[in-house]
Structure 1
């Protein structure tokens, strides 16, 4: 990966997290202000010892810290990461968090999580409204599949048509890999020359699939030219948009993956390309690049399904998509703890792993899709009942509501320290795994 690609990925991650952190903290800030609770600081990123930028407006100091690991609001009279024990030793004041009714404190604490959930729903809704939702129906995969080595290891052959997973019919081809992983599918049923064959999935397959980070099958597509690249060899030949490529040096390549694979065997060489133009068969000579490319782009020839939404229709659709993404994320976490095939050391990652989810070239659609997903992740992780996170504060507030007794401030201080140490340990573990994988890649 080039330095430019790394910087683009890092920039997308920082921008995405900055948006989500600011909105999350606003979820605490706004109800605190509504309930006349003093907010002393509102910071993007953490600011130990010094800050990059700060200014004060009213009773609140706003700023940007230099440690890009999140952000915070410091609310008066609250035991949080600031561990301001001096303030807590003084008599409670009417404007402090600890002086407010329990229900108000609860709303302040869940505000950040609520905002993150709403942000995810809103982003998904706006993407659906603007772009619609395009999927590849399984019925459109009329040429069958091409299996990689992992797919072939379980018996899938080129040309097979996947019809069901655990005897559940497949509606969308582009959802097969996710379903195999998240639902721990035990068998795949394929149509092979009109005969349905059951293929058991052996133990260890899902773990290999996760490591590969790609599908084990692709939909077969003929290579029909859609673009002639200006700096490629094709522009100097009589190849035209709409031509179908079917052979390289006499080797039949009726499908896109086979065509590109065969080209890579002849890097920097002159090759004879078999071309179908309408009903005519042509032969075109072209000199390939040092990467084994001819400078053409293929178009989608399989029939895709696109659902378009009005603005009002996009709102419930965005809500349902957000819920589906949350379910998928929870399923992924569950698999880490209960599946024999998945190891935490291979599935957990830190900021580098998150950054690698972003494309190497700036893509606003991908950016907003990932930002919506990260917003769901941030909401879920924050609501976990761990002291130091929002969920820890909510846990103690619910205890107070149920029992009518407030935990002692000394207990809350100890719990806060323990929670912060646990969260710090998890951060070090996850990011340490990224470093370990990077080092393994070097050697």
Structure 2
């Protein structure tokens, strides 16, 4: 069921982005009276799952979910329709239109993607507001379980006060600066220290096992579920019970439980839990591996009530949400450009983190949450827009470069040159797709 939820979100988000991107090309093409021969979701290599001709355009769904396209008459694109291009130019063809009209048609897709992302962020601001955790309220710092972070010098309990000499005040601020973070100012046991990350930190992080996350909130052990196979299945525990102590020794955080339990392997321990506002005593059996075989639950608002950290929430009026949306939009665009900058700097090793369709699939949660779905869709829309603007022939950005050259120089590149550039761009794209998805396969094998 979890797979069905993830794949449903993945396909819905991908389909929405592709259709709207191609619609961004389709609408100005039609406004400028340019013939659009095909409008396809996914690629129809030799076969279509569905197609129907309405007017002069065939609308369809292909079987290969690697994107989508609109086929505009008289345009050198991935279809490489040399037969059509060999005919005399017609007034309804792309190549017959003024350069400024062709430029608008080519920029239509990325424009729609940027607008879509902004609208989503406005809607998210108005509907959900902003929720965050203040770093100042995290009295005992972060939970560090990632081995790479431990290797470079971080420890559980570190308080992060600045990244690259810029003060950070919220949990989200720490997480979103992970890509460009190079120097961390921390407080450890009341002493100010500094951690400088190695140049290839992002490459190492991309290659490391991901299940332990990065900087995590320190939370208590809250009971989630007790499986029927658990050695403590007969103990009266309920979802939401919070572990306070073991054999008289306080246990404030979940990250303390494993080390405490290791001292009681194959024994029984007296545990005190907090159930709502009442403390209860329970006797737990510890397995030979030092486990009590009880699932973990999270409930941040409950943890905030108990003083583990402070949650701040901001609501937006309808008008304020437009400002909140633009702030989120600018942050994501800036962060993605930072990420691309790292990827195209080989010494950082960030290229090792480039992922393909599996990487995109994996970012969707295994439970349906509309806030998460739309947040991810907005980010993917920005990603799609920026990647399409890369000056690679066969991408929108490649076409834009040639059109700008034509508009500035007054000389139009020959169709032969454009055909060759398209072939080169196609092979570059294939190489990038193979590299990204190859990274996915490599990580799946090695992690």
TM range (shorter): 0.7 to 0.9
Q: TM-score, normalised by structure 1?
A: 0.87
Pairing of 1:27-42 with structure 2 (within 5 A)? 27-42=24-39
- Match in the other structure for 1:414: 420
Give the superposition deviation at 1:8.
Answer: 3.6
Classify 1:105/1:192 alpha carbon distance in 2 versus 1 (closer, same or farther; 3 Å): same
Give the superposition deviation at 1:309.
Answer: 1.1
Q: Give the Cα–Cα distance (whole angstroms) in 2 for the partners of residues 101 and 279 of structure 1.
A: 73
Give the superposition deviation at 1:33.
Answer: 0.9
More divergent stretch after superposition (275-284 vs 145-154): 275-284
More divergent stretch after superposition (16-25 vs 347-356): 347-356
Give the superposition deviation at 1:151.
Answer: 4.1
Deviations 1:293-343 (A, max 9, x none): 435634322211111112222123212212211111111121122252425
- Match in the other structure for 1:51: 48
Q: Is the 8 A contact 2:160 2:184 kept in 1?
A: no
Q: Is the 8 A contact 1:123 1:372 kept in 2?
A: yes
Pairing of 1:350-361 with structure 2 (within 5 A)? 350-361=356-367
Q: Give the Cα–Cα distance (whole angstroms) in 2 for the partners of residues 44 and 208 of structure 1.
A: 37
Q: Give the Cα–Cα distance (whole angstroms) in 2 for the partners of residues 228 and 438 of structure 1.
A: 29
Residue 18 of structure 2 corresponds to residue 21 of structure 1: yes
Partner SS, residue 50 of structure 1: strand
Partner SS, residue 69 of structure 2: strand
Matched pairs, number:
434
Classify 1:79/1:152 alpha carbon distance in 2 versus 1 (closer, same or farther; 3 Å): closer
- Match in the other structure for 1:404: 410
Residue 305 of structure 2 corresponds to residue 305 of structure 1: no
- Match in the other structure for 1:275: 273
Give the superposition deviation at 1:418.
Answer: 1.4
- Match in the other structure for 1:246: 244
- Match in the other structure for 1:138: 135
More divergent stretch after superposition (313-322 vs 202-211): 202-211
Structure 1 regions of 5+ residues with no counterpart? none
Pairing of 1:109-120 with structure 2 (within 5 A)? 109-120=106-117
Residue 197 of structure 2 corresponds to residue 190 of structure 1: no
Q: Is the 8 A contact 2:164 2:182 kept in 1?
A: yes
Q: TM-score, normalised by structure 2?
A: 0.86
Residue 399 of structure 2 corresponds to residue 393 of structure 1: yes
Q: Is the 8 A contact 2:239 2:297 kept in 1?
A: no
Q: Give the Cα–Cα distance (whole angstroms) in 2 for the partners of residues 388 and 49 of structure 1.
A: 21
Q: What is the alpha-carbon root mean square deviation over aligned residues?
A: 3.1
- Match in the other structure for 2:160: 162
Partner SS, residue 135 of structure 1: strand
- Match in the other structure for 2:306: none
